[in-house]
Structure 1
Amino acid sequence: MSTRIMASILAVATAVPAFAEGELNLYSSRHYDTDERLYSDFTALTGITVNRIEGKADELIARMQAEGANSPADILLTVDTSRLTRAKEAGVLQAVQSDVLEARIPAYLQDDDNQWFGFSQRARIFFYAKDRVENPPADYVSLADPAYKGMVCHRSSSNVYSQTLLSAVIENHGVEAATEWAQGVVDNFARDPQGGDTDQLRGLVSGECDISISNTYYFARALRRDVSGLDSEAMANIGWVFPAQNGEGAHMNLSGGGVAAYAPNYDNAVAFMEYLASDQAQQYFSAGNDEYPAVPGVGLSPSVAALGLFKPDDVDLSAVAGNLSEAQAIFNQVGWE
């Protein structure tokens, strides 16, 4: 029996993806069923089989660390700059040199050392109850205005979206201003931070709050299909604002990935990364999961396009990631639970 066949048998027996020329072992914390189309299309185009292990980002990163040089992982896909940075700092990614990725992914959506690349984005914007709010805030700084006291719903400080937003405020406005902003937002909370982004939108419908912050794809998804608590009548009363259009632009959350530090199928991993930057895959990020493509000029799905045009914040996300520890210190200081 050949060494390769034996390795495949052992891999199947232990539920670990096999090492083989025509395979790709993907560790993913993207929990969207619609991503299946990305994987099947890649296989149809290349003949490379995608073996997928899904889990929470921190669990996958810890697993890759424990596996070390014996890890079967070729790719890590996850959501948010903070988690991509966590993977880099954990030493589970490696630098990638790809002319395709360099040409197609904007520089500010790449790690400075090319260890991760962004493939889709979500704008983190204001939503408000149109029947109760006449003048919603126009920028992130204004959310801390005492005029909005008792009106704001937001997620907890332990959530990566909260952490990255505050990190961006630090990068754009400085530590002192960011601290004042965080304190002002806490003072304006309508309730203690709780739930996910969809829960922030439901808070508008229930009347618990008048203004909330959410990533756009949660709202666009509700425009496209039924979501519990967000029927068509409720959605009609929710307005939205892309913040800071006369300033830095709307804050963008990133979904992206990198090649694993010990990828056994390195060439296949790079091919997959380059595929995710293709027009075909980029269009599917929008059509399948209501996200914004990372590659400029790619068309949007109707549900995403319905939100309108806006100016995104093009701050360097590697620089934003460098502020994460400072952001957590500020959260602790102002009592943002």
Structure 2
Amino acid sequence: MKLDGPRELIAAHGEDEESGTESEDAEEDVIHQEYEPLEESIYGFAVSMIIRDTVWISAGTNMPLVRAARVLNSFVLIACVITLQVFLLFAVSRLLSAPAVLEIRETYSDYEELMYPNHTFLTVNGFKRGVPGFRVDDNFRKMDKHTARKVCEVPLSHPFYLMSILFIWTLTCQLEVRAIFETAMCLLWKTPLVHSTADVVEPGEEEHCVEVRGLTPCMKFVIGVLVLLPRTLTCLALLYLGCRWLTATLGLGDVLLNGLALEFLVLLKELLYNVTVSHRNRVDTQRLLIRPFRDVNKATFCTFFDSQAWAILSAAWAWVYVYHVQMVLPHYGWDLAAMCKKYLPVGPLF
């Protein structure tokens, strides 16, 4: 059968071809979503073990202690991921970010004192800021080349460059946020509440797979409070401290390199999953299927483009952070870019 257009395509998807007539409001290109596997990470593994082994223990098993130990082990691995991330966050904050913030504040304070002679005020941190309207542009020439280039490598002197790096870092964190949001919607919202573990899972259509048909109140509480909530808080802390460190990095090349280095903190959950979770446990995780984010995926503007809202949110956060949230340089005067462009022109594009 030759398909000449969208109406024929609808017919091929199950419309009545013999009648030759179709309703005017027939929906186009509808996709019925199947049950889908959990994400392959420490968090997906923990959810799988909570559901699988709780059902087994309640139904009766020959090795209850082993299954209980597997559930406990999943929480231990989550604790390891979060502990490692939190430790590295504090290490980055105290050993890397704090010295970088101090250096960039001193550098900018010296610049302000030179450019606004006798017309400065102190910030809450004790660093000098110039009073608008009293800048002496010619004083920029008094700086030696090394100091001038150092001042011009303050990331906030190139806001669009900084925002592009923060945008990419935010997108990296948005992968986590989106995974958390979709998992919460699928398990805590769309999955029905049941009061017996006997109603939690059923054999799936695919061989050896089981489908989650409902969750008990206790399961939803444990998944929401002990799995998803700590993951969310850690991700948000990573996002903010990462933005702060990148904004405080003195050196435009180092800003880019530090942005790449931060990514491994987000990828720890996959790294530990692939290294520490046995093949059997990975298979069990892959074969536990949960309700899809949408049961029926209709061809609409929303279903075609809704994911791009995450990118818009990332771009909005990068802009808001640079212009309104950042406290690396409080009362930043946005007075570096013009001076650097005027007296230290950039090189050729190629």
- TM-score grouping bracket, smaller chain normalisation: under 0.3
Which structure would you say has the larger Rg? Answer: 2
Larger proportion of helix: 2
TM-score (norm 1): 0.23
**TM-score, structure 2 length as denominator?**
0.23
Query: Higher relative contact order by CA 8 Å / sep ≥ 6: 1 or 2?
Result: 2
Bigger share in strand:
1
